[in-house]
Amino acid sequence: MPTDLVTYQVADHIATITMNDPATLNAISTPMKNALMAALIEADSDDDVRVIVLQGSNQNFSSGGHIGEMLENGTKTEALAEKIEAMVSGVAELSLKLRTVYKPVIAKLEGAVAGAGMNLALTCDFRIASDNAKFVQAFVNIGLIPDAGGIYLLTQLIGAAKTTELVMLGDKLTAEDMKRLDLVNEVTSAAHIDDCTQHLAKRLSQLPSKALATMKDMINTHAFMGLNEALDMEVHQQTMMAQTADFKEGISAFMEKRTPNYQNK
């Protein structure tokens, strides 16, 4: 079962899965990915669980991919590309699992909701956001492309034009911005987000679970049939991006807290 990086609790037919690495704002490392998968498999197989809540600790959902792990084998092109390929494949597995768990999944979104963290939230069935949440498709800022299904999911949910703006410019969005885009179901205060999330989870837990599972299956068929292929494309393209000079400059600038100087290489 999950390590200390992910906690798992079940009460009143609701499984609560919590990413728990506050020092990194719950960045998604390979150990966290593995623990999240174990928790999702546990919730999926438990007949007592009817609804899943995915959240982060310390009032942050997730800052996205774990930059420290990306760089743990150094910045030589081959080692870096292999590491990123493995990490992108891992978050792809998470996105696919969140869609194929045929129980409603609610993302409780607070604080940092960035990069792969934002895209994992988009794979969930419902999203409740605190008014302190900040969302960003941060990939372009370090010379990468969205992973965890980001471009595919955004295109399906809000169309190509707005997706292009979000992923190419990488601007930060507030919870209200996300609500205007219909990317979150409800915005509430930090003081009330737990109550709001639990209210929705309890309501779903009292509905016929087989009907909900069939609805999710049909939604996947009609709206997300191409997700698997999109995830495979992401892994391939992200591995190529990891071999560019612009990515090395972007990640160096990020770590050094300076403006990157891209050379289009």
Tens of pLDDT, residues 100-119: 999 999 999 999 999 999 99
Structure-block tokens of residue 42: 């546990």
Q: Mean of the pLDDT values across residues 190-204? A: 98
Mean pLDDT score of the chain, rounded to an integer? 94
The CB density around residue 34, as the number of other CB atoms within 10 Å, is: 17
For residue 261, pLDDT over 60 is answered with: yes
* Per-residue pLDDT, 71: 82
Local confidence band at 256 (pLDDT 50, 70, 90 cut-offs): confident
Percent of residues, the chain, with pLDDT higher than 90: 80
Cβ atoms of 102 and 213 closer than 8 Å: yes
Task: Please list the residues that pair with 232 across neighbouring strands.
Answer: none
* Per-residue pLDDT, 218: 97
Which residues, 6 or more positions from 232, have their beta carbon under 8 angstroms from its beta carbon?
A: 92
* Per-residue pLDDT, 2: 57
The CB density around residue 239, as the number of other CB atoms within 10 Å, is: 18
User: Domain 6-190+211-256 falls in which CATH fold?
Assistant: 2-enoyl-CoA Hydratase; Chain A, domain 1 (3.90.226)
Tens of pLDDT, residues 31-89: 999 999 999 999 999 999 999 999 999 999 999 999 888 888 777 778 788 889 999 99
Q: Mean of the pLDDT values across residues 151-155? A: 97
| Long-range pairs of 190-193 with CB within 8 A, sequence gap ≥ 24 | 190/59, 190/110, 190/130, 190/131, 190/132, 193/108, 193/110, 193/128, 193/129, 193/130
For residue 263, pLDDT over 90 is answered with: no
Percent of residues, the chain, with pLDDT higher than 70: 98
* Per-residue pLDDT, 136: 97
- For the chain, the structural domain boundaries read 6-190+211-256
Greater model confidence, 28 or 256 = 28
Q: What is the distance, to the nearest Å, from the Cα of residue 50 to the centroid of all Cα atoms in its chain?
A: 21
pTM here? Answer: 0.94
Tens of pLDDT, residues 211-250: 999 999 999 999 999 999 999 999 999 999 988 888 888 8
